[in-house]
Amino acid sequence: MPVNTDRATVPASGDADAEGDLPINELFYSLQGEGKLAGVPSVFVRTSGCNLRCWFCDSYHTSWEPTHARMTVEDVVREVRAHDRAGHVVLTGGEPLVHEASVELLERLAAEGYHTTVETNGTIYRDAPIDLASVSPKLASSTPTPENAPEGADAGAWTERHEARRIDLESLAGLVEDYETQLKFVVTGPDDMPEIVSLLEDVREAASVPVPDDDVLLMPEGTTREALAERREVVADLALEHGFRYTPRLHVDLWNDAPGT
């Protein structure tokens, strides 16, 4: 089973932001579950806070109801270093690039020789040492509504805001140009494909480097084994039809929706 760091699950209690501090929701050792590096032992550093509100967010407590502990960059590096079997660190969220201190963390991790993946929604560009930018542009099917939002969430306040923010073509082009990138789309069904194809055309036109189909990954939406089972075959068939990669959600297959995975 993955190994979780207890201190990083403590809810915030009105603590003020400190310079260089990061709001950490979880810090744990597990297997990378998605993308080109699926199966690689990794330390996950999950920040809290996000500029979007996907209705199907698989880390509810970093977005709709953010909780965290304050940790300095030095604290985080020390915790990462304690998991001495992993040479790979995944910085995820929420949206980790909303935090300026993420750049300092990535610089420290690079200096210590770690390979880093940053999981981002692609709406924010940062100049940082990133080995793999795992960019997951949010499609129209991610927009929250009163009907699909998590129970108790204030979807009405976020519907228009999310829809207006979910795609930033300039940031997407910058990430693709400056980093090794995988474009990882959460797919709810065949109706998502026209938007994916259209967005890829826009990114390819905006970016000064090629975006090969091999860097486009389709991933079924679902945070439980049961939900994945409903979409897995459909999304795999779509990947075959369009010549894109299919990516599993290995952590869900192994540990279902357990925290710290």
Model confidence at 14, pLDDT cuts 50, 70, 90, reads: very low
pLDDT value for 156: 84
CB 128 within 8 A of CB 107: yes
Phi/psi region, residue 49 (left: phi>0; alpha: psi -120 to 50; beta: rest), is left
pLDDT at 3 over 90: no
Asked whether residue 67 is domain-assigned, the answer is yes
Q: Are 73 and 111 in contact (CB under 8 A)?
A: no
Q: How many domains does the chain have?
A: 1
CA-CA distance, 71 to 8, in Å (whole number)?
A: 8
12 pLDDT higher than 60: no
Q: Does residue 193 form part of some domain? A: yes
156 within a domain of the structure (yes/no): yes
pLDDT digits (tens, 9 = 90+) for 197-253: 999 999 999 999 999 999 999 999 999 999 999 999 999 999 999 999 999 999 999
Q: Is residue 73 part of a domain?
A: yes
Residue 171, domain member (yes or no) = yes
Residue 259, pLDDT score = 86
Tell me whether residue 150 is in a domain.
Answer: yes
What are 132's strand-pairing partners?
117
Cβ atoms of 135 and 183 within 8 Å: the answer is: yes
Give the tens place of pLDDT for each residue, 60-85.
Answer: 999 999 999 999 999 999 999 999 99
Query: Which candidate, 37, 27, 31, places its Cα nearest to that of 181?
Result: 37
* Domain coverage including residue 140: 3-217
CATH (domain of 21): 3.20.20.70
Residue 255 lies in a domain: no
18 in a domain, yes or no? Answer: yes
